[in-house]
Structure 1
Amino acid sequence: MHQASAGVRRHPAVPGRAPSFHRAAQHTSVVGLPSVPSLAQNPSDLPTHRHRPPDHQPQTVPATPTPKATATGHSHRAQSQPLEAAMRLRRVATTVVLGVALVCVAPASSPAVGREVAGAAEAAGVAGPAAGATAGHGSAAVLRAGQPPASRPGAAAAWPVPTGTVTAPDGRTLLTDRQGRVLRLRGLNLGKTDTVTEERIADLARDGFGLARLNIQWEKVEPHRGRYDTGYLRYLDHILDWADRYRVLVLIDWHQDVYGPAFGHNGIPAWATRTDGLPFEPNPDDWFADYFQPAVQAAFTHLYDDADLRAAQGAAYAKVAEMLRGHRSLLGYDLFNEPFGPVPGDPTDPQDQIDASAALERGRLADMYRRLIRAVRSSDHDAWLFLEPTVLIGQGVPTSLPAFDDPRPGADRLGYAPHYYDTAVESGADWDPSSRFIERYEAAVADYPTTNRLPVLVGEWGPPQATTPGNAQLMQRQVASMDRFAAGWALWYDCRADNGGGYCAYDRSGGPAPGKEPAFAPYAPAVAGIPDSESYAPTPRTYTLTMTADRATRRAWTVLSLPATAFPHGARVSVTGGGPAVVVGAGGPGRAGLLLPTARPGAAVRVTVTAC
């Protein structure tokens, strides 16, 4: 969605009323982290406009290589016999009982030690961390990768990739991998009008993000009817090659804004635009109001209703799915960005908007989703397919989408991908906590995915800028909010601008934009257990994860993302509950692996990470 240059704040003319809303013994280890620069790149309250996407190419700089992995440290007391038997780790590769506090270390390189850790974990019958995770002679581990994680032997095998779901006690549907770990995805949007490079994917990984929502358009896939742009398809394939290498999951977002280029925007090709000769008068002050123009309304109606356009759209989706299938980084597809359709009656009337949205979701949009699910499944049985509601979800209007069937063999791989924007903030206002925007949104978003057991991935969110007190608080509150209902999210947008203007995640220097630091906070991408709560306090740089042990806790590694933006000089990891803990560097710079080989299901575990 989005139409605005970085650093430019929109002040649209609103064709309606402006919205008003919206645990036991402690074990401690230390993981030394490299100091890697951050690079990148009420029905009456309804939306009548949206922000504009960046239309520039973000600045990038070459990735800074980091030293290779090694291990050193201080001696520990000997391991207990039960833990030693459970782990069967060779002495040279042990990250022993963590019963004493350690000083933070950043030792020199020794790749051989990392290989022995992986071998020892395999011999112990547990799923080890990525090759290159290091520990030795009772030391704490530190990882300093000099090459992309997937290029090291065994690294890909440890990459947490969603293969199923689990229902949490509170009713949430969470993504899981083959080891039964709960996966939590965090990332950025990119690629809409700018070129994605290998450096940008590498930067995402270094900043702790494991997800890229890649914006693509039908107009680029098939600029002329029946003729696919092989160059563009190869470009998409290269992006996923890089994502494979850096272990970043990619969600392909079939993007559109105001239908497509026939109306000065992007998405649906001009040759697939039918207006019935109706007028189109663009609003220079409010691009979202263009959706209500008669010609745009007609174009959407034909896209939903005309058999030849339906077939062409399905063929394009199948073509892309055929091209990209097999990539380990391919999470799946967001089938249609911010769906819109005809609004009978007065488009500025809130109730007419609600009625039109409900009719679209129950009828034409639901039919489109069924067609597109079949189209992708004709080429790819493994990708996850995410369904978007209309933008009214952001204003507290629950979706009217029906349930959907997935024709793939085995369990369904369907998800729900709403967006999370406060329209008043998009208009230029500083966020008002008294608006109850977050409370209304959470109430509106919960029922559909809970009823249909769908994981939630918030495809877009974030304020245009977060330098004001309200918007900075909004960033904090939204991150905490999404932890309560979502399996993952992607912030809009991976670009640089002064003070993070124009929705940019980064400031001009390449660091987290002021006020947007909560998006760069530490988190647990993979939890061997049921995650309960997660928090990060920038002062005094303390990250806390609470979880409940389950059957996966003893045999699988919990992975912590501890980026240099939060822990520039390393981090001390403490664990209470769950019995003795093993902590090693894992899977890349700023990552740690945690194993609790004697934890009993139901045990309350608390992980605390503090700065060195």
Structure 2
Amino acid sequence: MRPVRLALAALVAGLLALTAVPAHADGGPSRARPHGRFILDPAGRVLVLHGLNMVYKRGSYAPDETGFGRDDARFLAHHGFTTVRLGLIWKAVEPQPGQYDDAYLARVRHTTRLLADAGIWTLLDFHQDLFNERFQGEGAPDWAVQDDGLPAQPQTGFPYNYFGMQALNRAFDHFWANDPGPGGVGLQDRYAAAWAHVTSYFSGTPRVLGVDLFNEPWPGTGWQQCANPAGCPAFDATLQTFTQRSIDAIRAVDRRTAVFYEPQVLFNNGSQTSVTPTGSRLGFSFHDYCLTADAGTGESGGQEGCSTFDDLVFTNADDHVAASGDAPLLTEFGATTKQSTITTMVDRAAAHLTGWQYWAYCGCEDPTTTGPGATQALVLDPSKAPRGGNVDWAKMRSLVVPHPLAVAGTPTAYSFARQSRVFRAAWSTARAGGSGSFAAGSRTTISVPAYVYRSGYAVRVTGGHVVSRAGARTLVVAQDAGAEAVRVVVHPA
């Protein structure tokens, strides 16, 4: 594999040189880093991330076009959200082969900096659904579409075009085969070089959590082989080649920024994965959407059947990260108004010590989702202030919960009992990074949202003591001398 990787690095360097974009050195702001099943902040504390997706799939593809800005970042931070999965569209990044639109990247970077100012970590996501507008989707540039001249029919929208549109599936087939595109350069080689350019461009931007390589990889013509609980090892081998190619291209210019990879999309519904790339600072980005989440009528419709499938997705994710050593992050779930679906997923993620990013912050005329935009949106219109009737407060009740923010140690459990509003958390003082223990006085922060504790809260701590002011929205617990474990209980005052 070494000669192949060296050749890829040379290709990436050549494509970057052609576009006169210098590769940044491994300097710049500190980065979070995946380590084992946890994501660590620069001080080595475990980050427990709760957040949302913000992806704009039309027009300029820039999130600021929707009006998403500083007030939205502050709104998220105020309610204890600490991460945003921010969409970039390959078509906007590389409108012509080998030519990158840095004006577009500057707009996205501005949004990332607004989030950083509010203390929010950004996961940069190359987003796609249905590959390209020709297939009623978004993602790839027009020049990267190779559909063998087949008609883009029948047009039944998202996600149904995946199952019945041969032209769409052929476009994926050509991409996964890395078939040559313009200039005789493989489609994946162009894609990997685009990622190298983007990571280089953002190398000086603070609070970049990492990059998410490819949203919901669709297997193409042979998708049926993946529609079973055992997954599809044959396609996974192809997906791993693509994933490794992209990782190697990024590492040629940036060795610090975490890289999150995804399994084939039917993992979302309970299929296993065997994709295990190699490299440093890798994370496992997975989604969980129950096929029957919107079945039936009323709030509980379809939920009983969903629990089995959703538990299976988390079991598969746990098994994968135990074998791979790559940190998990639930980067999509939701896209529904059913509070039971959202609530159980938030609680399930806590039981599995896994951070999450809800889909989605806004509807924003999304052409590739289930239901109208208001179905998925937390904030209906980002161009208006996030308050009053512009916020789906029912979703807020499901999403806004007390949770650890940064743990000086290794989390062992945390949970929130919604009826009693009692929050419990426990952690050992051993470093999750595996290098000893945190010293006395080391601080753990916990989100205790005013939205949950309107009349204040009381705290009991063993193994530590509270150092934040009474009623602070962020509870700070300092470790006691000699403590090997810390336990916290928060309840309404």
- Same-fold status (TM-score > 0.5): yes
Does structure 2 retain, via aligned residues, the 8 Å contact 1:529–1:553?
no
Does structure 2 retain, via aligned residues, the 8 Å contact 1:165–1:174?
yes
1:583 equivalent in structure 2: 467
Aligned residue pairs: how many? 428
User: What amino acid does structure 1 have at the position aligned with 2:340?
Assistant: Q
Offset at 1:547? 2.4
- Structure having the higher helix fraction is 2
1:597 equivalent in structure 2: 480
Offset at 1:567? 2.2
1:319 equivalent in structure 2: 197
Distance 1:360 1:354 in 2: 14
Query: For 1:43-73, what per-residue CA distance to the aligned partner results, in whole angstroms no more than 9, with x for missing partners?
Result: xxxxxxxxxxxxxxxxxxxxxxxxxxxxxxx
1:29 equivalent in structure 2: none
1:607 equivalent in structure 2: 488
Match of 1:417, SS state, is: strand
Runs of 4 or more off by more than 6 Å in structure 1? 350-356, 496-500
Distance 1:392 1:246 in 2: 35
Does structure 1 retain, via aligned residues, the 8 Å contact 2:192–2:246?
yes
2:399 equivalent in structure 1: 519
Distance 1:512 1:582 in 2: 33
2:340 equivalent in structure 1: 473
Q: Given the alignment, which residue of 339, 343, 362 partners 2:237?
A: 362
Matches within 5 A, 1:41-60: none
Does structure 1 retain, via aligned residues, the 8 Å contact 2:46–2:406?
yes
Go from structure 1 to structure 2 and tell me whether the alpha carbon gap of 1:596 and 1:356 turns closer, same or farther (over 3 Å shift): closer
Q: Given the alignment, which residue of 572, 576, 580 partners 2:458?
A: 572
Offset at 1:248? 0.6
Match of 2:283, SS state, is: strand
Does structure 1 retain, via aligned residues, the 8 Å contact 2:34–2:283?
no
Distance 1:513 1:500 in 2: 16
Does structure 2 retain, via aligned residues, the 8 Å contact 1:215–1:255?
yes
Distance 2:42 2:158 in 1: 47
2:6 equivalent in structure 1: none
User: What amino acid does structure 2 have at the position aligned with 1:334?
Assistant: D
Matches within 5 A, 1:267-282: 267-282=139-154
Does structure 1 retain, via aligned residues, the 8 Å contact 2:170–2:221?
no
1:533 equivalent in structure 2: 413
Go from structure 1 to structure 2 and tell me whether the alpha carbon gap of 1:244 and 1:463 turns closer, same or farther (over 3 Å shift): closer
Distance 1:500 1:367 in 2: 35
Q: Given the alignment, which residue of 279, 286, 290 partners 1:422?
A: 290
Go from structure 1 to structure 2 and tell me whether the alpha carbon gap of 1:464 and 1:352 turns closer, same or farther (over 3 Å shift): closer
User: What amino acid does structure 1 have at the position aligned with 2:376?
Assistant: Y
Does structure 2 retain, via aligned residues, the 8 Å contact 1:426–1:463?
no
Match of 1:201, SS state, is: helix
Q: Given the alignment, which residue of 220, 226, 233 partners 2:92?
A: 220
Q: Given the alignment, which residue of 74, 85, 109 partners 1:237?
A: 109
Structure 2: runs of 5+ lacking an equivalent: 1-28, 58-62, 365-370, 381-387, 431-436
Does structure 1 retain, via aligned residues, the 8 Å contact 2:290–2:309?
yes
Distance 2:202 2:489 in 1: 39
User: What amino acid does structure 1 have at the position aligned with 2:492?
Assistant: A
Go from structure 1 to structure 2 and tell me whether the alpha carbon gap of 1:564 and 1:456 turns closer, same or farther (over 3 Å shift): same
2:32 equivalent in structure 1: 162
User: What amino acid does structure 2 have at the position aligned with 1:610?
Assistant: H
RMSD: 2.9
Offset at 1:424? 1.1
Go from structure 1 to structure 2 and tell me whether the alpha carbon gap of 1:546 and 1:553 turns closer, same or farther (over 3 Å shift): farther
Distance 1:268 1:500 in 2: 23
Go from structure 1 to structure 2 and tell me whether the alpha carbon gap of 1:210 and 1:539 turns closer, same or farther (over 3 Å shift): same
Match of 1:325, SS state, is: coil
Does structure 2 retain, via aligned residues, the 8 Å contact 1:500–1:513?
no
Go from structure 1 to structure 2 and tell me whether the alpha carbon gap of 1:413 and 1:215 turns closer, same or farther (over 3 Å shift): same
Distance 2:311 2:376 in 1: 23
User: What amino acid does structure 2 have at the position aligned with 1:531?
Assistant: P
Offset at 1:374? 1.5
1:546 equivalent in structure 2: 426
Does structure 2 retain, via aligned residues, the 8 Å contact 1:175–1:183?
yes
Distance 1:225 1:186 in 2: 36
Query: For 1:494-533, what per-residue CA distance to the aligned partner results, in whole angstroms no more than 9, with x for missing partners?
Result: 0279999421234772445325523111111111222222
1:450 is the counterpart of 2:322: yes
Go from structure 1 to structure 2 and tell me whether the alpha carbon gap of 1:260 and 1:285 turns closer, same or farther (over 3 Å shift): closer
Matches within 5 A, 1:316-395: 316-344=194-222, 357-363=232-238, 365-395=239-269
Distance 1:432 1:607 in 2: 32
Distance 1:539 1:499 in 2: 31
Distance 1:342 1:354 in 2: 18
Q: Given the alignment, which residue of 47, 52, 56 partners 1:188?
A: 52
Go from structure 1 to structure 2 and tell me whether the alpha carbon gap of 1:331 and 1:202 turns closer, same or farther (over 3 Å shift): same
Match of 1:226, SS state, is: coil
Does structure 1 retain, via aligned residues, the 8 Å contact 2:288–2:333?
yes
Q: Given the alignment, which residue of 281, 285, 300 partners 1:413?
A: 281
Distance 2:199 2:107 in 1: 14
2:41 equivalent in structure 1: 177
Offset at 1:311? 2.5
Q: Given the alignment, which residue of 233, 246, 251 partners 2:123?
A: 251
User: What amino acid does structure 1 have at the position aligned with 2:423?
Assistant: Y
Go from structure 1 to structure 2 and tell me whether the alpha carbon gap of 1:419 and 1:197 turns closer, same or farther (over 3 Å shift): same
2:17 equivalent in structure 1: none
Does structure 1 retain, via aligned residues, the 8 Å contact 2:195–2:246?
yes
Distance 2:399 2:458 in 1: 21
1:306 is the counterpart of 2:179: yes
1:433 equivalent in structure 2: 304
Distance 1:453 1:205 in 2: 30
Query: For 1:359-389, what per-residue CA distance to the aligned partner results, in whole angstroms no more than 9, with x for missing partners?
Result: 22112x1111111111222222111101101
Distance 1:160 1:599 in 2: 30
Offset at 1:353? 6.7
Go from structure 1 to structure 2 and tell me whether the alpha carbon gap of 1:229 and 1:489 turns closer, same or farther (over 3 Å shift): same
Match of 1:568, SS state, is: coil
User: What amino acid does structure 2 have at the position aligned with 1:370?
Assistant: Q
Query: For 1:287-330, what per-residue CA distance to the aligned partner results, in whole angstroms no more than 9, with x for missing partners?
Result: 43345422111111222221422222122111111111122210
Does structure 2 retain, via aligned residues, the 8 Å contact 1:581–1:594?
yes
1:398 is the counterpart of 2:272: yes
Structure 1: runs of 5+ lacking an equivalent: 1-158, 167-172, 407-411, 467-471
Distance 2:234 2:476 in 1: 48
Distance 1:416 1:502 in 2: 27
